[in-house]
Amino acid sequence: MRAFHNTVLRFAACIAMMLLASFVPAAALAQEKTSALMTPELLEKVRRANNECFACHSEEGVKKPPRADLDITKLRPLAHDPKVFNGSNHGLMECTQCHGQGYTEFPHAADARESISACEECHAAKVLRIEKQLDASVHATRVKDKFTCSTCHDPHVDLIASTLIDPRKIVAQDNQHCLDCHDSELEFAKFAPDDEQTSTKKKRPDIDKIHEWLPNTRVHWQAVRCVECHTPATKTLSHEIVNKEKAERQCLTCHSASSSLTTRLYRHLAKEEQERLGFANSVILASSYVLGATRHPWLDRLIVGAFAAMLLGLLIHGLARIVARIVRRKKNHG
């Protein structure tokens, strides 16, 4: 009787497993946005107000300045693209919500810069959390000038990752900020510390040379973020840039099925897309730099197929045993 019981239990477990396996998690939840509060009238008002600034601060404005007395060489580097701004995180805001009093008139007030709102005025909780990580960063301890949020973020351009979604776009935006400085003598020199021995500015380490061990370095930078290797290996990304001794150099951190990229860079993609855009590249297999980097969709399908076949086998086996037992019991009693 006990053996019969066990067989039935095993059979039930089998069915439960198959049900579980066929249960596909639902698609990502839709996100509520503040932009839902925007009415067409309100948007019209914002656009009209911002056009007053764009009259000068745009390509158009530089070409056809609304006034004759403008210093065009000063204005040219201050041009913004209305389309880019309108599509950014802050695209629904009036310029003057961040640029206070001194900018509504021209010439701008001499102390207008002081009236630019800092991020924490509107994002207090975020800044509080991020500032702790920035204070622990190499940039806080080594760099001469203090980094502010806008050293790496352009409030007129940036879009959050959950809106960009496409990993290439996320990578392009995030790496641009690091490369603008680490790939430019001019920018780097502004922040570079003094060299201890020579008391001259520390020279910018050549970004390609440093990463020579990484094949197709520039290809990597189009596909993966600097912060994937230069922040602590936690589940979500931190703002703490660690020193180079602690930087990631294990190929398998990314080139494996359980890549950290799935919880960080690819987390905004739906599951199917992760599989399509994630690691399935024959390039890595062909050049066989990376042992174990075998993540081929057909291989995955084969493994899933083998698993299903095994379950089916168990099922048939269980059924057969139950039938055999019933037949045997009938024989014994009859």
Binding positions for ligand HEC, 150-169, rule CB under 6 A: 150-153, 155-156, 160-161
Of 14, 175, 266, 295, the one binding ligand HEC by CB under 6 A = 175
* CA nearest to 269, candidates 280, 261, 281, 257: 261
Question: Closest distance between ligand HEC and the C-beta of residue 273, in Å?
Answer: 13
* Cis status, amide bond into 25, omega within 30 of 0: no
Taking the least distance from each CB to ligand HEC, the nearer of 33 and 329 is: 33
Helices (H), the chain: 2-22, 40-54, 59-63, 72-75, 82-86, 95-98, 124-135, 138-142, 149-152, 161-164, 167-182, 185-191, 207-210, 217-223, 226-230, 271-277, 282-287, 297-333
Residue 191, number of CB atoms within 10 A of its CB: 18
Of 46, 103, 240, 274, the one binding ligand HEC by CB under 6 A = 103
Of 7, 14, 46, 134, the one binding ligand HEC by CB under 6 A = 134
Of 81, 187, 275, 300, the one binding ligand HEC by CB under 6 A = 187
Interaction with ligand HEC in 313-332: which residues (CB under 6 A)? none
Interaction with ligand HEC in 18-37: which residues (CB under 6 A)? 33-35
CA-to-CA distance for 168 and 159, rounded, in angstroms?
13
Does residue 117 bind ligand HEC (CB under 6 A)? yes
How many chain residues interact with ligand HEC (CB under 6 A)?
106
Does residue 93 bind ligand HEC (CB under 6 A)? yes
Of 18-26, 96-104, 298-306, 313-321, which part binds ligand HEC (CB under 6 A)?
A: 96-104
| Contact characters 219-248, ligand HEC, x per CB under 6 A | xxx-xx-xxxxx------x-x-x-xx--xx
At residue 63's C-alpha, the angle toward residues 60 and 69, to 5°, is 110
CA-to-CA distance for 48 and 266, rounded, in angstroms?
38
Of 10, 47, 99, 296, the one binding ligand HEC by CB under 6 A = 99
CA-to-CA distance for 167 and 153, rounded, in angstroms?
18
Residue 249: which residues within 8 A CB-CB, separation 6 or more? 213, 214, 229
Of 56, 233, 257, 315, the one binding ligand HEC by CB under 6 A = 56
Does residue 46 bind ligand HEC (CB under 6 A)? no
Interaction with ligand HEC in 191-210: which residues (CB under 6 A)? 191-193, 202, 205, 207, 210
Taking the least distance from each CB to ligand HEC, the nearer of 21 and 210 is: 210
Of 46, 53, 274, 295, the one binding ligand HEC by CB under 6 A = 53
Does residue 78 bind ligand HEC (CB under 6 A)? yes
Of 52, 60, 81, 273, the one binding ligand HEC by CB under 6 A = 52
The set of long-range contacts for 90-96, using a CB threshold of 8 Å and a minimum separation of 24, is 90/155, 90/156, 92/34, 92/35, 92/38, 92/43, 92/46, 93/46, 94/46, 94/49, 94/50, 95/49, 95/50, 95/53, 96/49
Does residue 172 bind ligand HEC (CB under 6 A)? no
* CA nearest to 64, candidates 45, 82, 79: 79
